[in-house]
Amino acid sequence: MYNDWFMKFAPAAYRETRARTSLDVESTLVKSGNLARVSPALLRQEPGVLPTLRMSACPPLAVDRLIGLAGVSRNLVGCMESGVIPKRMNGVALDADLVKIARLVMRMADRDIFVWLDRNKGPTEAELRRAATIVADRLCGAVANPIIRNAQEKRQLAAIAAWLTKRGYKPLAPDIRFDAMPPGTFGFHMNVPVKQAGSGLTVNIPVDAVVMRKKSEFGELPLLIEAKSAGDFANVNKRRKEEATKVNQLRSTYGAKAQFILFLCGYFDGGYLGYEAAEGIDWVWEHRIAELAEFGV
């Protein structure tokens, strides 16, 4: 089921993201004089262009490689990757680091892509679009797995919504807490407050789908569902502790009445499933979605 979806829809999801990213890259090129004027002033005014500039280098630069080559503050680069300049950074140090980043980007610009940098004439529209597409592809390639996971999650939640709606469940009204849901309702991406072990502080953990059963009584908690998809066995076993941590936080706060299950599609092997089972976590396979009924919904 996962492979069929991937072949049919993953390319479209990737291309759609790449098309949006290409527009952002084109905007960055315009602001930088088509990469001929990467200045400290530009980096200060538009710090969010840094990922695009990293992917414009030959070879493309990872964050740590940029920091090491330029000899600049890790905090500065981390903030710029998020689109901001650190407020507390010393002005002189900030200016010096921005100069270093600008010089490095100009020096390492990929001239096989930005062919106009070695001539006196600017880019044609076709050259500009080609360069923007290549850089956008590099940016998307660095986050290809999250792009696919996000598209899969969106599809999985749509499948849950369709199944619940057929059974008479209604989408939850906005601003309703998970523990105040009316019977027969469901919601997505809800925050559930839990207590942090040792500190007693309360933090919110996100849950993909929350379903209050039709026959629930006052004080009963909804069913909590985490949508998971995977295109290979390796990554799921690296991330399997995430669900165990989440369920332990829920149970330490709400006791055994907190029911947390997984909604799975893709490559989950016996090692992963055995680990989750040992933590008391059950699951439903997406191609057998009707088995959600066994959890009372």
Q: Do 94 and 155 sit in the same domain of this protein?
A: no
Domain of 218, in residue numbers: 145-295
> Final residue of a domain: which of 90, 123, 142?
142
Q: Do 17 and 69 sit in the same domain of this protein?
A: yes
CATH label of the domain that carries residue 156: 3.40.1350.10
DSSP letter at 180 equals G
The type of residue at 52 is T
Q: Do 109 and 71 sit in the same domain of this protein?
A: yes
- DSSP-based three-state secondary structure for 72: coil
Q: Do 155 and 278 sit in the same domain of this protein?
A: yes
- DSSP-based three-state secondary structure for 134: helix
Q: What is the pLDDT of residue 242?
A: 85
Q: Do 158 and 112 sit in the same domain of this protein?
A: no
Q: Do 28 and 93 sit in the same domain of this protein?
A: yes
> Final residue of a domain: which of 142, 161, 185?
142
Query: What domain count does the chain have?
Result: 2
The distance of Cα 16 from the centroid of its chain, to the nearest Å, equals 16
Q: Do 151 and 287 sit in the same domain of this protein?
A: yes
Q: Give the mean model confidence (pLDDT) for residues 231-256.
A: 84
The closest alpha carbon to 39, from 130, 100, 124, 94, belongs to: 100
The tens digit of pLDDT for each residue in 65-102 reads 999 999 999 999 999 999 999 988 888 999 999 999 99
- Return mean pLDDT, the chain: 91
Q: Do 115 and 158 sit in the same domain of this protein?
A: no
Q: Do 80 and 160 sit in the same domain of this protein?
A: no
The tens digit of pLDDT for each residue in 181-231 reads 999 999 999 999 998 776 778 899 999 999 999 998 887 899 999 999 988
Q: Do 162 and 203 sit in the same domain of this protein?
A: yes
Q: Give the mean model confidence (pLDDT) for residues 147-160.
A: 92
> Final residue of a domain: which of 93, 117, 142?
142
Q: Do 246 and 116 sit in the same domain of this protein?
A: no
Q: Do 137 and 167 sit in the same domain of this protein?
A: no
The distance of Cα 48 from the centroid of its chain, to the nearest Å, equals 17
